[in-house]
Amino acid sequence: MIFLHVVGARPNFMKAAPVFREFKKHSGIRQVLVHTGQHYDSAMSDVFFQQLGIPAADINLQVGSGTHAQQTAQIMSGFEPVVLRHRPDWVLVYGDVNSTLAASLVSSKLGIRVAHVEAGLRSFDRSMPEEINRLVTDQLSDLLLTPSIDANRNLQREGIANEKIHMVGNVMIDTLIQMLPESDKHLPFGLPAKFALVTLHRPGNVDNTDWLKEMLSALNDLSSQLTIFFPVHPRTRARIEQHYSEMKLGGLKLLDPLPYLSFLALQKAASVVITDSGGVQEETTYLGVPCLTVRNNTERPVTIETGTNILVGTDPKRVRKALENVLAGGLKPGSVPPLWDGKASERIVRILMA
Ligand code: UD1
């Protein structure tokens, strides 16, 4: 059997890695790894392949950046001949990025079965490009592999047949569990006992120049109370450079994007994480680290209901208050959601082999 994995952007790599490795334990399987090139900087891509122990992609479509239409269209036209050449039994797509949507569209139109890993998540906010990607990908998929029970309910509500839906747990947590011992070696020396870790990259946040300026000012003020590390996504870096190069950032430590293991080590050691990422909400829930999500909604409600995540909205004043509350000891207890146990990829492979 031939399984073709499609990855494109940073959060895809840690989801595909454990599934790829799990398939390797079986004989009679050929795997093809396609990288669309949606993320292309070494710090956003290559270093993840190296650290996660996955081989370089068999094919890199090198699509790079562009508008959503350009990026999606380029992935589609580059991907179609790849599918025709390899004729896989299954195409596996991960998460909710443009590469996920583009590969699902191409495959389903060619009559190739699609398995969506991380199916069923919904923010119910169609202003997020990822929400559109999730909705369409799930409608097209033949197998919907979900991380949590809310995702099953969303899919059932959208009329997806029950037999296509399988709750398998969270593949990103498979990677986290596997890499946690190794990540300890990547903790920087001389870290302060207390620090906050920040990531912000959602277009809905960082493309709003007034908001970004206010948020950076708030973080900068807070950095007189505790060290704040902020590894900056290229999108956010470009906005900061366009608009605020004149702004004096004092104790706020802006870093380049970090490799997986260093970022994981910092998350584990952080007093609190402030983020608008999806995956970071899940990782902090597993690690039991307080997480303040700078968004008005989340497609990962289990991290709030069960985990340590708090949705604080996007008002920098509220973020500041929530951070001060955590630092004053106002911790929200959390536990690990069902099936976030390091065995999601095992379940996925078992289902696909059957
Ligand atoms: C994409 C995903 C988002 C995910 C994020 C993780 C979509 C719609 N969005 O957003 O869900 O959370 O990845 O990082 O697929 N850039 C570089 N180097 C790179 C990649 C991007 O400089 O390697 C810059 C480019 O200026 C580009 C911008 O970042 O225009 C945004 O990249 P893009 O792939 O469009 O979306 P992300 O914001 O990264």
What is the structure's pLDDT at 241?
86
Confirm whether 333 is domain-assigned.
no
Q: How many CA atoms lie within 13 A of 231 on its CB side?
A: 16
Average pLDDT, the chain: 96
How many angstroms does the Cα of residue 234 sit away from the middle of ligand 1?
7
- Whether residues 160 and 289 share a domain: the answer is no
**Going along 202-251, which residue ranges are E strands?**
227-231
Of the chain, the end-to-end C-alpha distance in Å amounts to: 11
Question: Phi and psi (nearest 5°) for 272?
Answer: -160, 150
- Whether residues 119 and 221 share a domain: the answer is no
Look at residue 245 and tell me whether its pLDDT is greater than 90: no
List strands edge to edge, sheet with 113-117.
59-60, 30-35, 2-7, 90-94, 113-117, 143-146, 165-167
What is the structure's pLDDT at 188?
84
- Whether residues 287 and 349 share a domain: the answer is no
Q: Closest ligand 1 atom, CA of 71?
A: 35
Confirm whether 59 is domain-assigned.
yes
Q: Closest ligand 1 atom, CA of 100?
A: 15
Most informative mutation of 172, 235, 239, 241 for ligand 1 (most atoms within 8 A of CB): 235
Which residues neighbour 350 within 8 Å (Cβ) at sequence distance 6 or greater? none
Specify whether the CB–CB gap between 276 and 260 falls below 8 A.
no
Residue 167 pairs with which residues in a beta bridge?
Answer: 146
How many angstroms does the Cα of residue 351 sit away from the middle of ligand 1?
31
Question: Phi and psi (nearest 5°) for 3?
Answer: -115, 125
- What is the mean pLDDT of the segment spanning 245-272? 90
| Structure confidence by residue, pLDDT tens digits, 193-223 | 999 999 999 999 999 999 999 999 999 999 9
Confirm whether 145 is domain-assigned.
yes
- Whether residues 222 and 256 share a domain: the answer is yes
- Whether residues 144 and 21 share a domain: the answer is yes
Give the DSSP H/E element, type plus range, for residue 80. helix 68-86
Q: Is 201 part of the annotated catalytic residue set? A: yes
Q: Closest ligand 1 atom, CA of 11?
A: 6
Confirm whether 175 is domain-assigned.
no
CA distance 139 to 24: 29
**What CATH number is attached to the domain comprising 304?**
3.40.50.2000
- List all residues whose CB is within 6 A of at least one atom of ligand 1: 9-11, 38-41, 44, 65, 96-98, 129-130, 201, 233-235, 238
Domain that holds residue 51: 2-169+340-353
Catalytic one among 35, 116, 166, 201? 201
Q: Closest ligand 1 atom, CA of 66?
A: 30
- Whether residues 295 and 203 share a domain: the answer is yes
| Structure confidence by residue, pLDDT tens digits, 318-329 | 999 999 999 999
What is the structure's pLDDT at 85?
98
What is the structure's pLDDT at 174?
98
Look at residue 246 and tell me whether its pLDDT is greater than 70: no
Number of domains in the chain: 2
Most informative mutation of 39, 67, 172 for ligand 1 (most atoms within 8 A of CB): 39
- Whether residues 312 and 186 share a domain: the answer is yes
- What is the mean pLDDT of the segment spanning 77-83? 98
How many angstroms does the Cα of residue 42 sit away from the middle of ligand 1?
13
Confirm whether 51 is domain-assigned.
yes
| Structure confidence by residue, pLDDT tens digits, 123-179 | 999 999 999 999 999 999 999 999 999 999 999 999 999 999 999 999 999 999 999
- Whether residues 60 and 17 share a domain: the answer is yes
- Whether residues 162 and 306 share a domain: the answer is no
- Whether residues 149 and 209 share a domain: the answer is no
How many angstroms does the Cα of residue 207 sit away from the middle of ligand 1?
12
